[in-house]
Amino acid sequence: MENEMHTDTEKHLELNANRSIERLLHFLGIPSISTDSAHDSDCVAAAEWLVKELSSIGMNARLVPATRHPAIIAHGPRVENARHVLFYGHYDVQPPEPLDEWESSPFDPEIKTRDGREVIHGRGAADDKGQLMTFVEACRALHETGGIPLNLTFLIEGEEEIGSPSVKKLLETYKNELSADIALICDTGMLDFDSPAIGCQLRGFVGEIITIEAASSDLHSGNYGGAARNPAVVMSQILASLVNKDGSISLPGFYEGVEDTSEDLMRDWKQLSTMEANLLEEVGLRVPAGEQGRSVLEQVWARPSFDINSLSSGYVGPGFKTVLPSTAQAKISFRLVGNQDPYNIREELRHAIQKLVPADCKVNFEAFGTVPAVQMDIGRSEFTLVKDAIRDVWKNPCVFIGMGGSIPIVTDIKKLLGLDTVLLGFSLSDDHMHAPNEKYDLECFRKGTLSWLRILRALEASSCPEMS
């Protein structure tokens, strides 16, 4: 009987696929650009549209105030002895400029053929409206064929593209009603067209702007070179001293809280030999520059790193100017893993630099971003259930991956709600997110929706050991 219900729901999903696409195209037509105040009313319109759609699938949905644009909180009917799932997404999009590089209007979405595949073309198609709607449409199919089989809460914001200034406060204010057993986010990508992946750890971030000052003004290098302190040289020497010859970072205490990658993750990553081989070659490089003895995927997913993001000093215009600069500035960042403490690392960095700054120089620091790393407990049954549930949807099995960047909302969900997050998205690397001609493959939308349907079925109350 249960298998028949699964089959009926999937048939219903397939029969109503065109209506799902129509709803997505309408959603994409709303220019909900969060950074542009001229589109404030469009952001409200997008939020209200979502409230209406969620209400139509049995959710108790409402708008809640935020810093710039309203968020949405919605709850499904109570299901006794079932898991409680929190789904997060965002309805705001990036500005479409430059407009002259779009094949057609960014907010007049349509189905196009690109590289032999049908794609949904329009701003927000992949980031994040299309991804958000894969989950909504899966819930719709379940609602219309017997009901959503678990407790479900939505948190959808309209400020993600401007840094989510309200999310932490939303999580704190509505903590009780956002409490759940697990969180789901569909705002990430696949390894390739046939290979889904679950992000299970995110590196943290520490950003710092360093300015070193020496003489009261720029000097003629012929008159002062060799005698006057050059802050550009000082900056270069100091930053170079932070990295050892073996690629490790020399900052005292830097590796406190760093652990080796688990055997389970290494097992999945060994399946990604093609990705490992191509990662550097695709950008014209060949030799890994990180810690010796670590694979490329370990270096970008599971090991901390230090980068100089920019250096500026002296004359940078056309031609040549024999100036001895009076100031030098560097913007640097660390990517963190495990339980590294970003605040301690910032303190140690500043202390180490101050010790190396010579006489006649002074240094100023400006903090720019502090995000701890976050790691999911993939031993929880939900992670295995998700992997197994979509095994037959895609050509290749789903694998656990690390993610080199930071997603602050995941850290906030972990810290404030105590939840692990399943990061499972169906976008592709060529979807042109934040760029002209953004698209979302039609097959990714369809298979993504089917994936969420099977995942929600798999998360039913019959297998929930963490609840006992």
pLDDT tens, 120-141? Answer: 999 999 999 999 999 999 999 9
- 75 part of a folded domain: yes
Whether residue 168 is found in the same domain as residue 246: no
Reported as a single tens digit per residue, the pLDDT across 37-84 is 999 999 999 999 999 999 999 999 999 999 999 999 999 999 999 999
Instruction: Note whether 117 and 245 are same-domain residues.
Output: no
Write down the pLDDT at residue 353: 98
Is the domain of 175 the same as that of 236?
no
Distance CA 203, CA 374 (A): 7
Same domain, 347 and 417: no
- Report yes or no: 198 and 361 within 8 Å, Cβ to Cβ: no
Contacts 24+ apart (CB under 8 A), 105-109: 106/31, 106/436, 106/438, 107/28, 107/29, 107/30, 107/31, 108/29, 109/24, 109/25, 109/28, 109/29
- Please answer whether residues 13 and 138 qualify as being in contact, where contact means their C-beta atoms are separated by less than 8 angstroms: yes
- Over residues 345-364, the pLDDT tens digits come to 999 999 999 999 999 999 99
- Give the pLDDT band (50/70/90) at residue 7: confident
Element (DSSP H or E) covering residue 83: none
Q: Is the pLDDT of residue 198 over 50?
A: yes
Mean pLDDT along residues 211-221: 96
Q: Are residues 65 and 197 in the same domain?
A: yes
Q: Is residue 280 part of a domain?
A: no
Is residue 217 included in any domain, yes or no?
Answer: yes
Indicate if 322 and 418 belong to the same structural domain: no
Asked if 44 and 88 sit in the same domain, the reply is: yes
8 Å CB contact between 333 and 249? no
**Radius of gyration from C-alpha coordinates of the chain:** 25
- The domain that holds 104 is classified in CATH as 3.40.630.10
Query: Residue 27: which residues within 8 A CB-CB, separation 6 or more?
Result: 46, 49, 50, 91, 124, 129, 133
> Residue 128: inside a domain, yes or no?
yes
Give the end of a domain, one of 371, 393, 424: 371
Q: Is residue 295 part of a domain?
A: no
Whether the pLDDT of residue 5 is over 70: the answer is no
Helix (H) or strand (E) holding 150: none
Question: Do 187 and 245 sit in the same domain of this protein?
Answer: no
Q: Which two tokens stand for residue 220?
A: 């003629």
Q: Which of 319, 344, 371 is the last residue of a domain?
A: 371
- Please say if the pLDDT value at position 466 is more than 70: no
Q: Look over the chain and give the mean of its residue pLDDT values, rounded to a whole number.
A: 94
**What CATH number has the domain bearing residue 358?**
3.30.70.360
Task: Indicate if 222 and 329 belong to the same structural domain.
Answer: yes
Q: Cα–Cα distance between 117 and 189 in angstroms, integer? A: 18
* 183 and 51 housed in the same domain: yes
**Torsion region of 156: left, alpha or beta (phi above 0 gives left; psi -120 to 50 gives alpha):** beta
Query: Is 281 among the domain residues?
Result: no
Question: Taking a C-beta distance cutoff of 8 angstroms, is the pair 52, 46 a contact?
Answer: no
Count of structural domains within the chain: 2
Both structure tokens of 305:
């790193």
Do residues 208 and 131 both lie within one domain? no
Are 10 and 159 within one domain? yes
Element of type H or E holding 267:
helix 263-269
Confidence of residue 406 (pLDDT cuts 50, 70, 90): confident
Residue 139, φ and ψ in degrees, nearest 5: -65, -35
Peptide bond into 98 cis (omega under 30): yes
181: left (phi over 0), alpha (psi -120 to 50) or beta: alpha
In a domain, 148, yes or no: yes
Residue where one domain finishes, among candidates 371, 392, 413: 371
Q: Which residues pair with 208 in a beta bridge?
A: 332, 367
DSSP state of 465: G
Contact 196, 426 (CB under 8 A): yes
Q: Are 141 and 13 in contact (CB under 8 A)?
A: yes
- Would 297 be classed as within a structural domain? no
Apex 448 CA angle, 442 and 450, nearest 5:
110
CA nearest to 202, candidates 338, 380, 382: 338
CA distance 389 to 433: 28
Domain membership of residue 367 as a residue range: 204-258+304-371
